[in-house]
Amino acid sequence: MEPAPRTILHVDLDAFFASVEQRDDPELRGKPVLVGGSTARGVVAAASYEARVYGVRSAMPMAEALRRCPQAVVVRHHMSRYAEASRGFFGILDDFSPEVESLSLDEAFLDVTGTERLLGDAVTIARSIKARVRDEIGLVASVGVAPSKFVAKIASDIDKPDGLRVVRPDDVLGFIHPLPVSRLWGVGAVTREKLAALGLRTIGDVARYPEAVLRRRLGDGPGAHLAALSRGVDARPVQARGAPVSIGHEETFEVDVNRREDLAAVLMGQADRVGARLRHAGLRAHTVQLKIKYADFRLVTRRRTLNDATVDSTVIGRCAVSLLDELAVDGGHGKRHRVRLCGVSVTGLEPRDAPRQLTMDEPARRRGEHLGDVLDEIHARFGDGLVRRAMHVPPDDDD
């Protein structure tokens, strides 16, 4: 006996980072907005829909985005605002299903199978989610409804922005078969070229192609995977989200940096962001990792496990700077030691309130963590830039 079809929703906040910036700054509304860092070397973290009409997309080099859309307004990211909006978003989703699988800060799957008597049919649930997202956090969500995760994700994207597409079980093949093969999960540029060499350009083409040949050409695993998806078969369940496995922050410099003091200041600022995100998530970290990319694109990482898990930004930052001192960063040793990117991340995460062994420096640990909590409250009320470390404040011109 065939199992009853599931009802899966994929909910995605439209142009998330850019939409938060436009929500919080009325002067940005209706304008092409790019969220990112350096205009010379940074990449676009998010682009508003006003910018996307010029062909700008996420992960595009910022310089290329500005060539395509020179009138765009570039804003730096505000992770605390995005994290706050994300918490509100997932709080809404949790009201509609206990089965919520987080894909990122701004998108998730929900399994609402069998909730009709309590919450209404899937369309009613989707409309309710969209309305609450708009009313409670001031953002716009697109929703796809389908019997599988694969189809639901395509459905949420097909009518963006502010979309709602329902694909019923009997309509799945008619919906996906005309779409390009790039819509299949796992098809990147290389696989797309291999499929094109076989004359396969749509999902329907893949569905009609002999699976045995597809396996020989692509490998057993990838061939079977694409063949199943092309027939609308995707039995993966929605898996309730767990805690993140890492939290980090990195940035690419507009001009290469080779002074240890400059890099140390940047790392301490990044540690502040990481510590704030740990506290927002109710977590603490056991391991600190440093990431350095040199001017010649050589990438190195260093990590260290702390004696005691922490949420203290200062502890994280000092550890990162200590790791930096193990690397060669000195302009006197040549260009290859100049740095174009650096980042701090933490792993080995656990709940902040998990039992822990007390240490001899317990008062200092408590003071450091309490200071972080106080700074979080100040930033939440008055903005991220009100209080900064003294080493982050540029000197006065007269100094």
Q: Known catalytic residue: 107?
A: yes
pLDDT: is 12 or 3 the higher one?
A: 12
- pLDDT tops 60 at residue 333: no
pLDDT of residue 338: 85
Rounded distance between C-alpha atoms, residue 260 and residue 291, angstroms: 14
Residue spans in the chain of domains classed CATH 3.30.1490.100: 246-392
Work out the average pLDDT over 328-352: 74
The CATH architecture one would assign to domain 7-166 is: 2-Layer Sandwich (3.30)
Q: Find how far residue 64's CA is from the centre of its chain.
A: 22
- Is cis: bond before 32, omega within 30 of 0? no
Among candidate residues 21, 50, 101, 107, the one labeled active-site is 107
The superfamily in CATH containing domain 177-230 is 5' to 3' exonuclease, C-terminal subdomain (1.10.150.20)
pLDDT of residue 380: 56
Tell me, what DSSP letter sits at residue 28? Answer: G
More confident residue, 243 or 338: 338
Q: Which residue has the higher pLDDT, 381 or 186?
A: 186
Sheet hosting strand 44-47, strand order edge to edge: 44-47, 33-36, 73-75
Residues 77-112, buried b or exposed e (16+ Cβ, 10 A)?
bbbbbbeebbeebbebbeebbebbbbeebbbbbbbb
For residues 387 and 333, the model is more confident at: 387
Token duo for residue 216: 């020989």
Tell me which CATH code domain 246-392 carries. Answer: 3.30.1490.100
Q: What is the mean pLDDT of residues 42-59?
A: 90
The CATH 3.30.70.270 domain(s) of the chain lie at 7-166
Average pLDDT of the segment spanning 139-147: 97
The residue-averaged pLDDT of 9-33 equals 96
pLDDT over threshold 80, residue 249:
yes
Residues in Cβ contact with 194 at an 8 Å cutoff, skipping those fewer than 6 apart: 217, 218
Main-chain dihedrals φ then ψ at residue 339, nearest 5 degrees = -110, 130
Residues spanned by CATH 1.10.150.20 within the chain? 177-230
Query: Locate tokens 């990590």: which residue?
Result: 303
Q: Is 230 exposed, middle or buried (0-12, 13-18, 19+ CB in 10 A)?
A: buried
Provide the pLDDT for residue 392: 47
Whether the pLDDT of residue 181 is over 80: the answer is yes
Question: What's the whole-number average pLDDT of the chain?
Answer: 85
- Residue 338 Cα distances to 259, 289, 290, 294, angstroms: 8, 19, 16, 6
* Total count of residues recorded for the chain: 399
Question: What is the enclosing helix (H) or strand (E) of 352?
Answer: none
